Amino acid sequence: MKNILKNFLIVLFVILMVAGFISLYAQPEQKVEQISVAKLINEVNKEKVKEITVKGDKLEIILFSNEKQKAQKEGIESLSEMFKNFGVSPEKMGKVNIVVKDESGAGFWMNNLLPYLIPFILIGLFIFIMMRQVQGMNQKAMMFGRSKVKNVKGTGKKVTFKNVAGAEEAKEELFEIVDFLKDHKKYSDLGAKIPKGVLLLGAPGVGKTLLSRAVAGEANVPFFHISGSEFVEMFVGVGAARVRDLFSKAKKNAPSILFIDEIDAVGRRRGAGLGGSHDEREQTLNQILVEMDGFDQNDNVIVLAATNRPDVLDPALLRPGRFDRQVIIDLPDIVEREAILKVHSFKKPLEKNVSLKEVAERTPGFSGADLENLLNEAAILTVRHHKKKVEQQEILDSIERVLIGPERKSHILGPEEKKITAYHEAGHALVAKKLPRTDPVHKVSIISRGKAAGYTLKLPSEDRKFSSRSKFIDELAVLVGGYISEKINFGEVTTGATNDLQQATKLCKRMITEFGMSKKLPPRTYGEQEEMIFLGREIHEQRDYSEKTAEIIDSEIFELINNACATAEKIIKENKEKMEKIVKILLKKETIEREEFDSLFKKNKTEVDSNPNKKLSE
Ligand code: ADP
Ligand code: ZN
């Protein structure tokens, strides 16, 4: 609408410009001779003049020879008076046809005023356009108070619980909500209070939005969707206005589902930060609480909210009558992964050799969204390979794509860099192979993917809910394996190990301060992490221990890292010729798959068997 107006104004502008130029320069083309009054009198006396048109003090003269002329008289006196004064006889005057025209006619304006007016019109138009733009911005600012809520009922296809694979417990919990929305009287007759809010907890991509949509779909009610981050705007008070608007919309369409994604963006614990944006969040949160408290049992609106950070939520949100129900959605296990893959492979033609079970086995830790993405990548890869059906290999190849990023074939390493990368990755792989509690190596590669120059792909062989200290100790040795290998084989290290060291440091720190895995310190947590939104997002750690404890923490971290380095060094030095073998294959083929990698270690059977724990990891 605004565009049409804008285009219209531009066209108008151009037309006026053209018209202006024409009216400025068109007149001389008529070649009308300007004559003096004396000459006109002379012509009248000679009976040459056929007609005189009077427009104010302008005279347009047409001669009998059809020639046109113009003249100017003095403003005050009339034409006949002027002729009389000049002594023209009445007979001669009678020969001339005199026409008097109203000087306020359109033609007068067009001819006389327009050329002078055009500059003013243009300037006015310019100012007008500018004003409109500014006003448009103001209008936008005024619209801030409206929520950008999306009502998805009737748009697209309906989502039901059938579209959600796995997550049986969550579905069961939510089924009650569906039942309530469908038959609200059944519950109120028994005096049962139905929850106003349900909090869905789970990692990103596990299907929180999908489940909420499915609840609305099953109950056949409108679904209002908004993200917590959309509340937070530049101006204080906007968020609260949006909340009011949102709730009133939902109530108007009751029974309905109101879904607030990322509620942690507004629902953070209050009074923890600094700065203006914080006040804004607080107000928004307060408004949500007020609205939820104001809900009537008969309002028939149920608020579903999703977050992956329940720990940062304000306790006020979780009080009875607000989000008192919590549904936890875990990452899918192997059976659920297969089911999710099945749901999303529905529209993709798969070759007979595809085993979704194997794919599920190889994707521990993947969320529903990751799995959907995986199949999509596989389909794209299939098109690129000019095939009609997706094969197992495409799906397996896509796992790495999703995990680490796309291959960067153009990012070619020089021979020296290639060698360093090969030794680095071989270091990781070798240490991983030799330690009992690490995840099996699936692939070692020196093809760049994403940001990494090379990578060693290890995947857990089972879904794990928790890890042990000894597993972390082994993982640490694997992490520094690349660094140690570079050091041993080249005498110095490159920047390629930066990311490994960051990860190792983080893991050590968490082991000591969060997991209670220190040997010297009593089991408690050290430091409270708090996320603050002040000039950007920053993690602020509140120290709740003494300087002395801090020193012990540091020394514990040093010890963990030092031990990990020693372990890695020992393994790499003891297995020099295995390392050379891995590097040789890597330099030749760039990639080693799991089977080939394992076969390198097979001949030396006694060595593997001598390790009693080995079976645990495979
Ligand atoms: P969240 O809101 O938890 O971040 P979404 O609900 O947006 O995650 O999930 C993203 C996508 O992942 C969904 O659109 C869906 O296609 C897929 N997905 C996630 N979990 C499942 C599941 N259990 N069954 C089928 N698809 C799923
Ligand atoms: Zn590395």
Question: How does pLDDT run across 33-47, given as a tens digit for each residue?
Answer: 888 888 888 888 888
Residue 401, amino acid = R
DSSP, collapsed to helix, strand or coil, labels residue 580 as: helix
Both tokens of 103, joined, read 């000087």
Q: Is the CB of 372 under 6 A from ligand 1?
A: yes
Atom of ligand 1 nearest to the CA of 210: 6
Both tokens of 532, joined, read 């603050």
Q: Which of 164, 206, 215 to mutate to test the pocket of ligand 1 (most atoms within 8 A of CB)?
A: 206
Q: Which CATH architecture describes the domain 334-403?
A: Orthogonal Bundle (1.10)
Contact between 436 and 430 under an 8 Å Cβ cutoff? The reply is no
Select, from the ranges 99-103, 198-202, 294-298, the one with the highest average predicted confidence (pLDDT). Answer: 198-202
Average pLDDT score over residue span 313-319:
81
Query: What are the residue boundaries of the structural domains of the chain, listed by start?
Result: 150-329, 334-403, 415-610
Average pLDDT score over residue span 155-169:
80
Is domain 150-329 annotated with CATH 3.40.50.2000? Answer: no
Q: Where residue 606 falls among pLDDT bands split at 50, 70, 90?
A: very low
**In degrees, to the nearest 5, what angle opens at C-alpha 458 toward C-alphas 455 and 460?**
160
Res 18: pLDDT: 79
Cβ-based neighbour number of residue 53 at 10 Å = 15
Average pLDDT score over residue span 506-518:
91
In this structure, the residue with its CA closest to atom 25 of ligand 1 is: 164
Whole-number Å distance between alpha carbons of 241 and 128: 32
Q: Is the CB of 213 under 6 A from ligand 1?
A: no
DSSP, collapsed to helix, strand or coil, labels residue 357 as: helix
Q: How far is CA 262 from CA 239, 305, 499, in A?
A: 14, 7, 29
Residue 68, amino acid = K
Res 434: pLDDT: 92
Report residue 418: phi and psi, to 5°: -60, -40
Nearest-10 crossing angle of helices 368-384, 334-344: 50
Could you check whether the bond before residue 255 is cis, i.e. omega within 30 degrees of 0? yes
Whole-number Å distance between alpha carbons of 407 and 451: 10
Whole-number Å distance between alpha carbons of 259 and 303: 6
Q: Percent of the chain beyond pLDDT 70?
A: 83
Atom of ligand 1 nearest to the CA of 343: 25
Res 191: pLDDT: 79
C-alpha of residue 471 to centroid of ligand 2, in Å: 18
Nearest to 563 by CA among 458, 479, 447, 454: 479
Select, from the ranges 78-82, 127-131, 468-472, 541-545, the one with the highest average predicted confidence (pLDDT). Answer: 468-472
Top-confidence residue, 557 or 29: 557
Contact between 367 and 204 under an 8 Å Cβ cutoff? The reply is yes
Q: Is the CB of 207 under 6 A from ligand 1?
A: yes
Average pLDDT score over residue span 255-273:
76
Contact between 323 and 197 under an 8 Å Cβ cutoff? The reply is yes
What is the torsion angle, in degrees rounded to the nearest 10, for the CA atoms of residue 245, residue 247, residue 250 and residue 255? -160
pLDDT > 60? residue 66? yes
Q: Is the CB of 370 under 6 A from ligand 1?
A: no
For the structural domain made of 415-610, what CATH number should be given? 1.20.58.760
Whole-number Å distance between alpha carbons of 498 and 365: 24
Residues with CB under 5 A from ligand 2 (ion): 482, 500
Contact between 213 and 223 under an 8 Å Cβ cutoff? The reply is yes
In this predicted model, what pLDDT tens digit does every residue of 370-392 receive, in sequence order? 999 999 999 998 999 898 888 88
Average pLDDT score over residue span 256-271:
79
Whole-number Å distance between alpha carbons of 535 and 538: 8
DSSP, collapsed to helix, strand or coil, labels residue 508 as: helix
C-alpha of residue 367 to centroid of ligand 1, in Å: 8
pLDDT > 90? residue 69? no
Q: Where residue 559 falls among pLDDT bands split at 50, 70, 90?
A: very high
Top-confidence residue, 471 or 149: 471
Q: What is the CA radius of gyration of the chain?
A: 42
Catalytic positions, written as ranges: 425
Whole-number Å distance between alpha carbons of 497 and 488: 14
Report residue 282: phi and psi, to 5°: -60, -45
Q: Is the CB of 149 under 6 A from ligand 1?
A: no
